[in-house]
Structure formats: structure tokens, C-alpha cells
């Protein structure tokens, strides 16, 4: 074998190298596309980061929510007990008011008594007039 001074050539090496070069070219195109997408996304990511930094301190923590929940529960139970007390007072007042109102029977008796009294007065007045 004689030395030609060049790289040793293997059968089938050229097509494989050509395929690798093609694949590398595709990878370069894909990387360029990824870089373009990242360049478009970078301002949006920065904007979202700014929004998060501005709003995170104002958001409620879990502990604050738990405190609020317990405060609401205690307030609701207090209001519920107040409502029960007021409803009981209202019921008793209504019972008293209803008991003080005359029944139908009482109203009928009262009407007959008034009519009888007027009749008696008229009878007495008629006898005194003669």
C-alpha cells in the first residue's frame, strides 16, 4: 500500500459524512428557529416577571386565608346566635300580640252586646219619651 498523504478512505464513508453534514445543517436551522422564538418570548417573560413581582406581595397568604376563614366562622356563628335570639324575641312578642287580639267569638259577642245595649238604650228612651 502506498501512502497518498490524505485521510484514509473507507468504503461508504462519504455518504455517511454527507448525511451528517445535512443533519448538522438541519440542526443549525432548528437552532436558529429556536433562537428567534426565544427572542420573541424574552420580552413577554420579562413582562410576566414584572407583573408577578408587583402582584405577589399583594396576594393573600395561606395563613391570612386561614385567619380570615376562622374570623368569618366566628362572625357567622355570632350572627346566627343573634338572629336566633331576635327570632325568639319576635315570636314571643307576636304570641303576646295575638293573645291580646279578640277572637271571632269575642267579636261576635261584643257586637251582640253593643247591639243589645243600643236596643236597651232606645227602649228606655222610647218609654221616657211617652
* Interval 39-96: pLDDT, tens: 999 999 999 999 999 998 888 899 999 999 999 999 999 999 999 999 999 999 999 9
What is the pTM assigned to this prediction?
0.41
3-class DSSP assignment, residue 30: helix
b/e map 32-71, b = 16+ CB within 10 Å: eeeeeeeeeeeeeeeeeeeeeeeeeeeeeeeeeeeeeeee
Q: Please state, as a whole number, how many other Cβ atoms lie within 10 Å of the Cβ of residue 79.
A: 10
* Interval 18-34: pLDDT, tens: 889 998 999 999 999 99
Amino acid at each position: 500500500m502506498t501512502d497518498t498523504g490524505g485521510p484514509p478512505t473507507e468504503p461508504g464513508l462519504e455518504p455517511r459524512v454527507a448525511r451528517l453534514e445535512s443533519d448538522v445543517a438541519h440542526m443549525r436551522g432548528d437552532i436558529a428557529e429556536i433562537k428567534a422564538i426565544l427572542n420573541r418570548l424574552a420580552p413577554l417573560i420579562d413582562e410576566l416577571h414584572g407583573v408577578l413581582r408587583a402582584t405577589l406581595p399583594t396576594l393573600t397568604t395561606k395563613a391570612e386565608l386561614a385567619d380570615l376563614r376562622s374570623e368569618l366562622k366566628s362572625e357567622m356563628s355570632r350572627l346566627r346566635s343573634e338572629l336566633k335570639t331576635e327570632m325568639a324575641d319576635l315570636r314571643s312578642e307576636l304570641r303576646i300580640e295575638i293573645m291580646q287580639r279578640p277572637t271571632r267569638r269575642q267579636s261576635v259577642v261584643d257586637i251582640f252586646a253593643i247591639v243589645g245595649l243600643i236596643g236597651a238604650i232606645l227602649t228606655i228612651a222610647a218609654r221616657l219619651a211617652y
